[in-house]
Each structure stands twice: as structure tokens, then as C-alpha cells.
Amino acid sequence: MFKAIVYVTLRESVIDPAGSAVKTSLHSLGHDEVGDVRIGKYIELEINLKDRQAAEERAQEMCQKLLANPAIEDYRYELQEV
Amino acid sequence: MFKAIVYVTLRESVIDPAGSAVKTSLHSLGHDEVGDVRIGKYIELEINLKDRQAAEERAQEMCQKLLANPAIEDYRYELQEV
């Protein structure tokens, strides 16, 4: 079995309202040292397959089909045997 | 200057409705090989400080004050000099 760790982040060119809101909140809490804030998704999912190559292909497919929006997001993932 | 990479995840004991919804969607797309799915936050933030120790302390403080909800979430972070 494998565990896929997927990181989904907004493209650099895409404005991040959630990140800006967190930045404003941090400043209001006295954290003026904080600059740009970008918020993405961190997804852990179990893949019940024995073959690493098959698990790689399925993880890639899931990212492209559902987990990341190709119009505005980038993704990367790591595969761990568990 | 430093960049903090923060990972915020739900505690193991906490039910993850978003993760369950993604799991159901993946199954409906034919990904029956998918088991448990857990979704968290991946946050990148700039810290405009020169001293690493100070940046560590501020990052820790931000996680505890705002970025993670201690009642239901765990957090960890990495600090990169940029």
C-alpha cells in the first residue's frame, strides 16, 4: 500500500484572498515581520495498490481529475510505501 | 529573510468531512484503490527577520495564535532562509 502526500498551491500569477486575509490578521496580532502569505491544500491519501508504477499513475490522474484545478493551481506529490 | 512552510492537519481523532467527500468523489471517478483521505492546509509565509532564532519564535507564535486551531489541529513547520 502507498500513501500519497499531495501539495496543491495557487499559481504565482493568481491572487490569494485567503492569504491576504491571514496576512492582515497576523499584522493585527503584531506580526509586522510577515510578508507575503500563500495558502494551499495538503492532502494525504491511501492508495491500496502493490505496484509503485501503478500508484504513481493513479496519483497523477487523481491530481489532474479532481485534487487540483489546472486553470489556477499547481500540484506536486510524494509517494510513500506504508 | 526567511520563508516558513507550515503544515496544518486535523488531529487523527477528528473526523474529516472534506476528506470523506473527496474520497467519495474519487471513488465515483473510478478510483476504488483510494482509502482514507485527510485534507489540511499548506501555508507559505515570508518572515522579514535576519535572526533565525527570532524567526523560529515568531513562526511558532503565529501557528499557536492563528494558523492552527489547537483544539482540533496539529501543526508543524519548516524554516528556509531565502
Q: Which domains does chain B have, with CATH numbers?
A: 2-81 (3.30.1280.10)
Asked if residues A58 and B68 have their Cβ atoms less than 8 Å apart, the reply is: no
Show pLDDT as tens, one digit a residue, over chain A (82 residues). 999 999 999 999 999 999 999 999 999 999 999 999 999 999 999 999 999 999 999 999 999 999 999 999 999 999 999 9
Alpha carbons A46 and B36: distance in angstroms, whole number:
5
Please indicate if any CB of chain A lies within 8 Å of the CB of B21.
no
Enter the pTM of the model: 0.93
Q: Is B46 on the interface with A (CB under 8 A)?
A: yes
Instruction: Specify whether the backbone of B60 is left (phi greater than 0), alpha (psi in -120 to 50) or beta.
Output: alpha
Min Cα–Cα distance to chain B from A13, Å: 15
**Residue A39 is nearest to which of B31, B41, B58, comparing CB atoms?**
B41
- Closest approach of chain B CAs to the CA of A17, in angstroms? 13
Cell of B61: 507564535
ipTM given for this complex: 0.91
Averages of pLDDT over runs of 10 residues in chain B (82 residues) are 97 96 97 97 97 97 96 97 94
* CB within 8 Å: B42 and A47: no
Q: Looking at beta carbons, which residues of chain A come within 8 Å of B16?
A: none
Q: Do A44 and B8 count as a contact with CB atoms less than 8 A apart?
A: no
Nearest chain A Cα distance for residue B67, angstroms: 8
- CB B43 to CB A46 under 8 A? no
